[in-house]
Amino acid sequence: MNLTKKIGWIGTGVMGKSMCKHLLNKGYEISIFNRTADKASELIEMGAKFLKPIEIAQTCDYVFLMLGYPRDVEEIVIGENGVLKNMKKGSYLIDHTTSSPDLAVKIYSKAKELEINSYDAPVSGGDIGAREARLVVMVGGDEENFANVEDIMKTYSSKINIMGSAGKGQHTKMSNQIIIASTMIGVVEGMLYAQKANLDVDKVIQLLGGGAAGSFSLNVYGPRILKRDFEPGFYVEHFLKDLEICLTESEKMGLKLSGLELAYKLYYSMIEMGLGKKGTQALMLALEKINKENS
């Protein structure tokens, strides 16, 4: 493991912050940037340097992104003051943002022209996966030289796979989000049913979590829902963005995914309820509202 390589990290929000902590604790030299500077204060206290994105691009061997939306990625990477044209030849750009497969391909092509290694590498596991260093990383890009990047990612991940060429990491994440979207509906509706049947819902979660109904959503978010903890491990507004990408890509492929369409409608209703900054498990609030209106 080469700890002398300089790492730049742009985006230190709910997940990015924890991922950076693992790198700092491992001994890596890190420069960071976040639009909301307060979110970077703890990392600065741990030894990270706060630099502008262009400064990060010019001085770092590896530049990681963990942003909110494809438009943020496009602006930061290939915008007028984008990092890509300021990065060193032979350096690495790794985008952990859940973003558009087409944008990942576009960035890869521009990076190739500049002799920069580009990887789309969205992650799954939420805030708890980031804190406990057991994120799953799905990667699109060239296998050549990837071992250098993988070595760094292992600091905060439990499983990393290259899924194919540029954009394939994002396509894999879309499959992940489609599965999660319908699973969360099932978790919430199952809990609503258990409540209505006057069952001990905590016991239901513990028992069913060990059987065929067990899932990350049930085992991790079920107890949070029960405690009325709707704070974000992953923001509703960001999840809705992911589902919009899923729908766009599905349409391109000629796929009609009815479960995905239903999930999108339900999560869109949460935005209308002002719940965009809550966690995805706050779907319970939307379904409670629907049942109250229908009772």
| Segment 118-140, tens digit of pLDDT | 999 999 998 999 999 999 999 99
Mean pLDDT of all residues belonging to the chain: 96
pLDDT band at 233 (very low <50, low <70, confident <90, very high): confident
Whose structure tokens read 């869109």? 268
Please say if the pLDDT value at position 2 is more than 70. no
DSSP result, the chain: --TTSEEEEE--SHHHHHHHHHHHHHT-EEEEE-SSGGGGHHHHHTT-EE--HHHHHHH-SEEEE--SSHHHHHHHHHSTT-SGGGSPTT-EEEE-S---HHHHHHHHHHHHHTT-EEEE--EESHHHHHHTT-EEEEEES-STTHHHHHHHHTTTEEEEEEEESTTHHHHHHHHHHHHHHHHHHHHHHHHHHHHHTT--HHHHHHHHTTSTT--HIIIIIHHHHHTT----SSBHHHHHHHHHHHHHHHHHHT---HHHHHHHHHHHHHHHTT-TTSBGGGHHHHHHHHHHHH-
pLDDT of residue 294: 81
| Segment 58-81, tens digit of pLDDT | 999 999 999 999 999 999 999 999
pLDDT of residue 39: 85
64 DSSP β-pair partners: 9, 94
Architecture per CATH, 171-294: Orthogonal Bundle (1.10)
| Segment 31-43, tens digit of pLDDT | 999 998 888 999 9
pLDDT of residue 14: 87
Please say if the pLDDT value at position 285 is more than 90. yes
Q: Which pair of tokens denotes residue 260?
A: 């995905």
C-alpha distances out from residue 116 to 32, 107, 230, Å: 20, 10, 40
Please say if the pLDDT value at position 205 is more than 80. yes
Question: What is the Rg, in whole angstroms, of the alpha carbon atoms belonging to the chain?
Answer: 20
What is the residue extent of each domain of the chain?
Answer: 6-165, 171-294
Please say if the pLDDT value at position 293 is more than 90. no
Q: For the residues 9-29, what does the mean pLDDT come to?
A: 96
The phi, psi pair for 145, rounded to 5°, reads: 75, 0
* Superfamily of chain region 6-165: NAD(P)-binding Rossmann-like Domain (3.40.50.720)
| Segment 135-188, tens digit of pLDDT | 999 999 999 999 999 999 999 999 999 999 999 999 999 999 999 999 999 999
What's the pTM value of the predicted model, to 2 decimals? Answer: 0.94
pLDDT band at 264 (very low <50, low <70, confident <90, very high): very high
| Segment 78-101, tens digit of pLDDT | 999 999 999 999 999 999 999 999
pLDDT of residue 1: 59
Catalytic member of 17, 21, 173, 241: 173
Query: Are the beta carbons of 42 and 96 closer than 8 angstroms?
Result: no
**CB burial string 238-268: b at 16+ within 10 A, e below:** bbbbbbebbbebbeeeeeebeebeebbebbe
Q: Distance between CA 134 and CA 126 in Å, rounded?
A: 10
Q: Which pair of tokens denotes residue 259?
A: 């479960």
pLDDT of residue 4: 77
Whose structure tokens read 């995805």? 280
Q: Distance between CA 201 and CA 115 in Å, rounded?
A: 55
8 DSSP β-pair partners: 31, 63
Please say if the pLDDT value at position 11 is more than 80. yes
Residue 252 is a catalytic residue: no
